[in-house]
């Protein structure tokens, strides 16, 4: 079985995924309204995100799989297809059909989470870099590191590219080296102390590749993807042998018309129900600080391509964006311009490895479209403030209990970074994608 599976995957990856071609997954990704009121599957993946898509694609080689995604498909949305639409996609406010759902934590920090097939890989800054060895050593997980590397390779053959550095990113690279963040490693996907060019999920034509594209390698006869499907609850039942132990036997999801559907697990349930007294506690988010400047000359549009990795636990990255400038209010004495004034904003960002401070998360509603209540408690550990001052930015406010003032010292957090107790390298995207493939392969092997 393994030889046959590997052969299929190696053949599939003889060429890279292309963004311009109509993706194959559209043949089995359907609006949830077309699904039966009840059906049975070997595995149900709730959330077709950065890890969910590679997980489902891998499982489908052997099992019958259902993916439930509350958003739509990214294909055809020009804001998600190229890097120039990056900021626009993050600022759309349609709570039902926009690709990003924004929310503000109780620390007064703006966040965004993906609500589209492919999850946050469809809206993030596209930087790709593998986790550092310390991430695996300190995670408490018994990793099969050979399979980890195979899973990274699987992801990278499909959707990771070497970016072409232009003026701003080249200047950042040179500045990092001049500042002593060396040696220079050139292009590398590995986590290496020094300065390097990382991978990008934007190809040479500027088109984005996202986790949804991994569904192109699924076995079409074994997979279904329901879009605009909101999971309402997980169905639980007691085992006939151990009555006190509950198992997940299926889910109830609702389509955009409000109709309910039951997706059930075949034959056996999944024993995952345990009482956890710390549910919702110990939520982490990596601190990120930054400086934004208005350069005297226009710069090209660029997202993160270069990273400076220090031995002291700080990662330095940069981006340049073109943003419209508008006056804060209209005036009868000032004629509005016929077209918006476009400004180039260059940003240098620094992220602290860790984190040290912890917070909490709790549900505000069982409705998935109502944002959770999140408090990260930035700077509750005094070492966080000291670490930020060491690298980039001004001194902390005297009144550090004032969350509105402290919010100036924490930028938009890395999407999905809070799922790890430490940052897996400079950015989490590579590791989240790898995990989808890794877990799928583990499940397949353990089922033999």
Phi-psi region of 347 (alpha: psi -120 to 50; beta: other; left: phi over 0): beta
Known binding-site residues for FAD equal 69-70, 116, 231
Task: Decide: residue 157, CB within 10 A, 0-12 exposed, 13-18 middle, 19+ buried.
Answer: middle
Known binding-site residues equal 69-70, 116, 231
- Cα separation, 313 vs 287, in Å, equals 12
Distance of CA 329 to the CA centre of its chain: 35
**Terminal-to-terminal C-alpha distance of the chain:** 9
Which residues does 71 contact at the CB level (< 8 Å), separation at least 6?
Answer: 97, 99, 114, 115, 116, 117, 227, 228
Which residues does 273 contact at the CB level (< 8 Å), separation at least 6?
Answer: 236, 245, 246, 247, 248
29-31 and 223-227 as β-strands: parallel, antiparallel, unpaired? Answer: parallel
């Amino acid at each position: 079985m393994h030889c046959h599976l590997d052969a299929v995957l190696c053949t599939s990856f003889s060429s890279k995924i292309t963004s311009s071609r109509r993706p194959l997954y559209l043949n089995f990704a359907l609006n949830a309204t077309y699904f039966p009121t009840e059906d049975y599957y070997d595995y149900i993946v709730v959330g077709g995100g950065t890890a969910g898509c590679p997980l489902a694609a891998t499982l489908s080689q052997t099992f019958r799989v259902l993916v439930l995604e509350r958003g739509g498909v990214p294909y055809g949305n020009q804001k998600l297809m190229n890097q120039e639409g990056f900021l626009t996609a993050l600022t759309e406010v349609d709570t039902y059909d926009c690709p990003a759902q924004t929310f503000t934590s109780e620390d007064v920090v703006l966040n965004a989470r993906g609500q589209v097939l492919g999850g946050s890989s469809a809206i993030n800054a596209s930087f790709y870099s593998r986790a550092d060895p310390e991430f695996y050593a300190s995670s408490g997980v018994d990793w099969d590191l050979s399979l980890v590397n195979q899973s990274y390779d699987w992801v990278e053959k499909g959707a990771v590219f070497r970016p072409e550095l232009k003026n701003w990113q080249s200047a950042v690279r040179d500045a990092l080296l001049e500042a002593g963040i060396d040696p220079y490693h050139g292009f590398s996907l590995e986590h290496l102390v020094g300065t390097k060019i990382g991978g990008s999920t934007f190809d040479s034509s500027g088109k984005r590749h996202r986790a949804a594209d991994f569904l192109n390698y699924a076995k079409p006869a074994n997979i279904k993807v329901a879009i605009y499907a909101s999971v309402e609850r997980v169905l639980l039942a007691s085992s006939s042998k151990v009555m006190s132990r509950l198992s997940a036997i299926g889910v109830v999801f609702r389509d955009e018309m409000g109709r309910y559907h039951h997706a059930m697990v075949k034959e056996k349930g999944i024993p995952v129900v345990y009482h956890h007294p710390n549910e919702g506690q110990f939520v982490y988010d990596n601190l990120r600080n930054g400086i934004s400047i208005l350069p005297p000359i226009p710069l090209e549009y660029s997202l993160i391509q270069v990273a400076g990795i220090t031995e002291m636990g700080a990662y330095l990255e940069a981006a340049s964006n073109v943003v419209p400038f508008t006056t804060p209010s209209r005036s009868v004495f000032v004629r509005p311009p016929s077209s918006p004034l476009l400004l180039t904003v260059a940003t240098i960002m620094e992220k602290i490895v860790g984190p040290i401070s912890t917070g909490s998360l709790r549900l505000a509603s069982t409705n998935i479209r109502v944002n959770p209540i999140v408090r990260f408690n930035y700077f509750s550990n005094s070492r966080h403030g000291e670490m930020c001052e060491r690298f980039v930015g001004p001194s902390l406010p005297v009144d550090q209990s004032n969350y509105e003032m402290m919010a100036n010292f924490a930028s938009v957090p890395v999407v999905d970074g809070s799922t790890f107790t430490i940052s897996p390298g400079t950015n989490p995207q590579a590791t989240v994608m790898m995990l989808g493939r890794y877990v799928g392969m583990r499940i397949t092997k353990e089922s033999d």
